[in-house]
A and B are shown apart, each in its own frame.
Chain A
Amino acid sequence: MNLSFSDKLLNRITYIALIACSLIFLLPILWIIRTSFTTKAVAYQIPPQWFVTPTLDNYRAIFSDNPFGKYFFNSMLVSLVSTLIAVFLGAMAAYWIARSSKGGNFLRIAVLVTQMLPPIVMVIPIFLMVKSLDMLDSWETLIVTYLSFNLPYMIWLLIGFFETIPKDLDEACEMDGCTKMQAFTKVVLPLAAPGIMAAGILSFLLAWNEFLFALVLTGTGSRTLPVAIANMETQQGVMIAELCAATVIIILPVVILSLFIQKYLVNGMTTGSIK
């Protein structure tokens, strides 16, 4: 392919800008990684000691003092399951809203309204309800509770993506005799893959980072990572080195996971190629 001069120049600028951006994001992360291998006394030393003999004590501490592996598993399970349910239900609902001629605006606002109340006042009735059902400290409870924000956001995000897909495409399919469901799964879903992927990642992360519900609704059995991490801020100080170690442990698997799934997001399936 022949690139014009201005294209080449723009490419170069783009790369330079992207590298600069990445550094902004990356430098604090590198500092977190470095801190995770130090003691607290070294972590706060200024001017910094650039070459420290790394210690693995922090990693050892988080796994021996806490069942950190269990918390990780809890977080993963709760976030994944609630996201999968939200994607499954949300995609259908969003499609229906996006294609319904009347009430589209009303419904999309109505879905959003459920998210306009601060979680602080929502958590009290939810706690009372869960308590009366005797379901505190269970994964099921967290998964269902997380749907209360995951599903509306999912619907809301996906409506936008479905609307960018031309109506004619699925209508044409329905003309050809497929059902609405077939039109949805065969035509619309593949086209909306990047959007669904993005919304899925978002909803996973909302659940992954959720703190308040997890704090109030879990005990030791289903405790999630954000609650476990918050416990590293104690009345006797922040266990900053352990906290950094925990953060590294949390980031790593998700980064690896994202390398696999982003294929669908970044490259998508270019809409134009569907004929």
Chain B
Amino acid sequence: MLSEKRKSFLIFFLPSMIVLAATVLYPLIYALFMSFTDSSLKRRGLGDFIGLDNYIRIFHDTHFIGSVWTTTVFTVLVVTLEFVFGFIVALMLNRIRFGKKIFFTIIIIPMLITPVAVGLIWRLLLHPDLGIVNYMLSLFGVEGHAWLGDSSLAMFTVVMIDIWHQVPFMILLLLAGLVSMPSEPYEAAKIDGAGRLQTFWTITVPLMKETIIVAILFRAITAIKTYDLIFVLTKGGPGTTTEVISYHIYKQAYTFLDTGYASAMSYLLLLVILLLSIAFIRVSRGKPQAQ
């Protein structure tokens, strides 16, 4: 006789687990094995077992270490700016009555465009000599920049383009969180005569906590994995100013065909993201919920 608990496990949880096992478990394990071998795309099969050599090699790879820093800067900037900007827009959208649909529709358009097209289109807009952005700036007497060709500006430009493309995700998630909040606490606060800021900090933020954690982690993980935008926009240049980890890994796998090493870097990356995620969840949720 199955207990109620077991039954609900079977019905609710098992189907997803089966699908995940069939789709992600095999590649995950395969890549883990690869990381301990000298496997290369030039040969069939996994290659020879070489222990931790790939992992040791990572720490001698100056370009990997450089790309860690680049990725950190990119991720922190992108996630913070998108969260702040996204939260503000979501709050505004949640507030208004008229024109909500129109604003919302406009705001989500960028994320419908595939990253390759986003990159190519922004290359058109930001062309230093022939782009509309620099032309518009020149009308206001501002001197244009070589947005992607200037090593001191390239990272900023990539971040801005990423925000344009990805902030709608943040708005979407946070707006959904705001919309599904109960109205009673607000009514109570109103009766108590609480101010707007006070209400925001004491009611909105705590109630939104779960959604915020989810949204930030979601975005952080996708940001760390960004490589397609870099690929289209700068290929890691000028110099190595925009060379993020995922692009570095991509090159190890497909240019250098060194899948063993690429897998090792990927697993190290996984470990770091994992630890950061756990830390983030611990800190932001406080103690594990009592009940």
Contacts and interface: CB of A to CB of B under 8 A. Distances in A.
A234 to B, nearest CB: 11
Contacts of A25: 106-107, 109-110, 164, 168
Interface residues of B, number: 104
A139 interface: no
Contacts of A197: 176
Contact of B173 (A116, A157, A180, A211): A157
B101 A22 contact: no
Contacts of A48: 132, 135
B121 A32 contact: yes
A209 B180 contact: no
Interface string B75-109: 00000000000001100110110011101111111
A221 interface: no
Contacts of A270: 179, 183
A172 interface: no
Contacts, number: 314
Interface stretch (B28-36, B62-70, B234-242): B28-36
B124 A92 contact: no
Range of interface residues on A (Cβ < 8 Å): 35 or more
B263 interface: yes
Given A46-B135, A121-B259, A229-B116, A22 B107 contact: yes
Interface in A147-197: 147-148, 151-153, 155-157, 159-161, 163-167, 180-181, 184, 191-195, 197
Interface in B1-32: 4, 8-9, 11-13, 15-17, 19-20, 22-24, 26-28, 30-31
A28 B164 contact: yes
B86 to A, nearest CB: 11
Interface in A18-38: 18, 21-22, 24-26, 28-29, 31-32, 35
Nearest to B271: A116
Interface stretch (A52-60, A61-69, A105-113): A105-113
Nearest to B111: A205
Nearest to A204: B112
Interface in B129-182: 129-132, 135, 164, 168-169, 172-173, 175-177, 179-182
B16 A90 contact: yes
Contacts of B132: 31, 46, 48
Contact of A93 (B16, B34, B127): B16
A74 B111 CA distance: 19
Given A117-B31, A266-B104, A209 B120 contact: no
B124 A202 contact: no
Interface in A235-254: 238, 240, 243-244, 246-247, 250-251, 254
- CB-based closest 6 A-B pairs: A198-B176, A160-B214, A272-B183, A148-B23, A125-B30, A268-B179
Interface of A: 10-11, 14-15, 17-18, 21-22, 24-26, 28-29, 31-32, 35, 43-48, 85, 89-90, 92-93, 95-97, 101, 104-105, 108-109, 111-126, 128-129, 144-145, 147-148, 151-153, 155-157, 159-161, 163-167, 180-181, 184, 191-195, 197-199, 201-202, 205, 208-209, 211-212, 225-226, 229-230, 232-233, 238, 240, 243-244, 246-247, 250-251, 254-255, 258-259, 262, 265-268, 270-272
